[in-house]
A and B are shown apart, each in its own frame.
Chain A
Amino acid sequence: MPEAPAQNVAADPKMCASDVKVHYGDKLALKGVSLDFRPNEVTALIGPSGCGKSTFLRCLNRMNDTIGAATVSGQVTLDGDELYGPNAIDPVLLRMRVGMVFQKPNPFPKSIYDNVAFGPRIHGLYRDNDHLDHIVETALEKAGLWHEVKDRLYEKGTGISGGQQQRLCIARAIAVAPEVILMDEPCSALDPIATAKVEELIDELRENFTIIIVTHSMQQAARVSQRTAFFHLGDLVEVGDTEQIFTAPAQQLTQGYITGRFG
């Protein structure tokens, strides 16, 4: 497991969630979760299916807005800016600052270049075409994909392998220079080698971004994260340093889940 960078103890958290509740219609899916995310750290959210971890992740860039029946209460802040309520920041701006990578690679049916250039184009983040070329190249470099695709930038993004597509989606997410990247089971559709590449990438990206990852693979949480949060039935049961969670968890429930005694 990668070592956490030396943290200034007083360093402000990048994102803070306090008492976040989510209802899907009458059903309370998330029962008041408070959790802070430190800058330049990877936080893994683990827990059995239906525990609320993906629901919680989607609260962090207001993806739940797109689900009609979902209502969110509580507050989430990004560097002090409120995500919900009357003073909330513009969701479009928010999603530029908080990018997302999904379970299944979902490149647009456009060229590799256009996939990465999409965000900078709609947000107007480039001066001229040379600058846009530079942004695309840098994003693909950071995603570890440049050398594999530099001669086929104008081929379809959907034509490359699954692992490459997922790294393309990561390149697309980082092209708009977000501050936080959310990942919802980014490796569950990938083979072990592609998974290893994405995990290595996550570790490198941590230098510049704050990363929050939902994963069903306990070993992946152990490998890539510095902090791990365990969710169960809509509650945050335990959060701690990943090393502590996997060697001596404080809660019986956490221990039962990670050791596979949960039935």
Chain B
Amino acid sequence: MPTIGDQHIVKSYDEALKRLHDALARMAGLTETQLHKAIEALEKRDSDLASQVMNADHEIDEAEHFINDQTVRVLALRAPVADDLRQVISALKVAGDIERIADHAANAAKRSLVLNQLPPVAPMRSLVRMGKLVAELLGEVLNAYLTNDAERALAVRSRDQEVDDLYSSLFREILTYMMEDPRTITSCSHLMFIAKNIERVGDHATNIAEQAYFVATGRSLNDQRPKRDTSAFEGVVQD
């Protein structure tokens, strides 16, 4: 009597899917490291570390190209269906998200080089706190994705609100500093952009959580996650 196994009858199909999975896992690991290093570079005002992050970004771009090629190959040669199809399509999308995350990390590192030439400013502490939270969420979501854990992915997705709240309050904090002491405007403007970079990483992590849920369950998360990043309205005169 036929039974369903974990493995395909055609072994080379399994190998192709494993290659894709492994490449994504490697890319995810590299990117997590990039983000951690970028935050550490900000916290410790370490320009060497920041340069390392900037110089390593091409590795992630190459990983993305490899994943794109593998995905096209599997789609063309294997015509995957059901969970295989979901895995392959999501690999393509998640690789795109991870690549953007790495770009944000590299961008933050680049700005930290400028910040290191200027006197330290106080909002950096809040920024680093936000960065560490996002890095933690990213680690969680990548693990959820790579282990097909829908529940864990959902849990991380719901925590993106914390990032948005931190971002909104950081925005106000930075504004206040600039108003109090215009000499900090250069540093604070860079901080603002870095904060936006990190906030975007949180959004990409949310996308990855949604892909993890889709791969594991076959269902899309359609409900709109409430966006409570209110910084877009900051400075609006109230009636």
A and B form one complex: yes
Stretch binding the partner chain, chosen from B8-16, B47-55, B58-66, B191-199: B8-16
Q: Chain B nearest CB: distance from A241 CB in Å?
A: 13
Q: Mark A239-254, 1 if CB is under 8 A from B, else 0.
A: 0000000111100111
Q: Is the CB of A256 within 8 A of B85?
A: no
Count class of interface residues, chain B: 20 to 34
Give the distance in Å from the alpha carbon of A252 to the alpha carbon of B9 in the complex.
Answer: 16
> Residue A111 at the B interface, CB < 8 A?
no
Q: Is the CB of B81 within 8 A of A247?
A: yes
CB contact between A259 and one of B2, B8, B217 (< 8 Å): that residue: B8
Which residues of chain B have C-beta atoms less than 8 A from A253's C-beta? 4
> Residue A27 at the B interface, CB < 8 A?
no
Given contacts A247-B86, A247-B218, A248-B219, contact A259 B6 (CB under 8 A): no
Q: Chain A nearest CB: distance from B5 CB in Å?
A: 5
Q: Is the CB of B9 within 8 A of A248?
A: no
> Residue B237 at the A interface, CB < 8 A?
no
Q: Mark B1-33, 1 if CB is under 8 A from A, else 0.
A: 111111111100100000000000000000000
Q: Chain A nearest CB: distance from B84 CB in Å?
A: 5
Q: Is the CB of B81 within 8 A of A256?
A: no
Give the distance in Å from the alpha carbon of A259 to the alpha carbon of B1 in the complex.
Answer: 18
Q: How many A residues face the partner with a CB closer than 8 A?
A: 22
Give the distance in Å from the alpha carbon of A62 to the alpha carbon of B81 in the complex.
Answer: 34
Given contacts A48-B2, A253-B4, contact A263 B81 (CB under 8 A): no
> Residue B79 at the A interface, CB < 8 A?
yes
Q: Chain A nearest CB: distance from B18 CB in Å?
A: 14
Interface centre among A218, A253, A262 (most CB of B within 10 A): A262
Give the distance in Å from the alpha carbon of A123 to the alpha carbon of B43 in the complex.
Answer: 90
Please report which residues of chain A, range 152-193, place their CB below 8 angstroms from some CB of chain B when the two chains form the complex: none
Pairs across A and B, CB under 8 Å, 28 listed: A48-B2, A218-B81, A246-B81, A247-B82, A248-B82, A248-B86, A248-B217, A254-B82, A255-B4, A256-B3, A256-B5, A258-B81, A259-B80, A259-B81, A259-B82, A259-B84, A260-B8, A260-B13, A261-B4, A261-B5, A261-B6, A261-B7, A262-B3, A262-B5, A263-B2, A263-B3, A263-B5, A263-B9
> Residue B151 at the A interface, CB < 8 A?
no
Q: Is the CB of B9 within 8 A of A262?
A: yes
> Residue B69 at the A interface, CB < 8 A?
no
Where chain A touches its partner, the secondary structure class is: helix
Which residues of chain A have C-beta atoms less than 8 A from B79's C-beta? 219
Give the distance in Å from the alpha carbon of A239 to the alpha carbon of B8 in the complex.
Answer: 23
Residue of A nearest to B7 (CB): A261
Q: Is the CB of B2 within 8 A of A260?
A: no
Q: Chain A nearest CB: distance from B33 CB in Å?
A: 34
Residue of A nearest to B89 (CB): A247
Which residues of chain B have C-beta atoms less than 8 A from A258's C-beta? 81-82
Residue of A nearest to B78 (CB): A260
Residue of B nearest to A232 (CB): B2
Q: Chain B nearest CB: distance from A229 CB in Å?
A: 16
Give the distance in Å from the alpha carbon of A232 to the alpha carbon of B86 in the complex.
Answer: 24
Q: Chain A nearest CB: distance from B229 CB in Å?
A: 32
Q: Is the CB of B2 within 8 A of A262?
A: yes
Give the distance in Å from the alpha carbon of A75 to the alpha carbon of B16 in the complex.
Answer: 47
Give the distance in Å from the alpha carbon of A258 to the alpha carbon of B85 in the complex.
Answer: 11
Give the distance in Å from the alpha carbon of A254 to the alpha carbon of B83 in the complex.
Answer: 11
Residue of B nearest to A256 (CB): B4
Give the distance in Å from the alpha carbon of A252 to the alpha carbon of B5 in the complex.
Answer: 10
Q: Chain B nearest CB: distance from A262 CB in Å?
A: 5
Given contacts A248-B219, A260-B8, A261-B7, contact A233 B1 (CB under 8 A): yes
Q: Chain B nearest CB: distance from A195 CB in Å?
A: 15
Q: Is the CB of A255 within 8 A of B2?
A: no
Which residues of chain A have C-beta atoms less than 8 A from B2's C-beta? 48, 232, 262-263
Given contacts A260-B13, A261-B9, A263-B9, contact A255 B83 (CB under 8 A): yes
Give the distance in Å from the alpha carbon of A232 to the alpha carbon of B2 in the complex.
Answer: 9
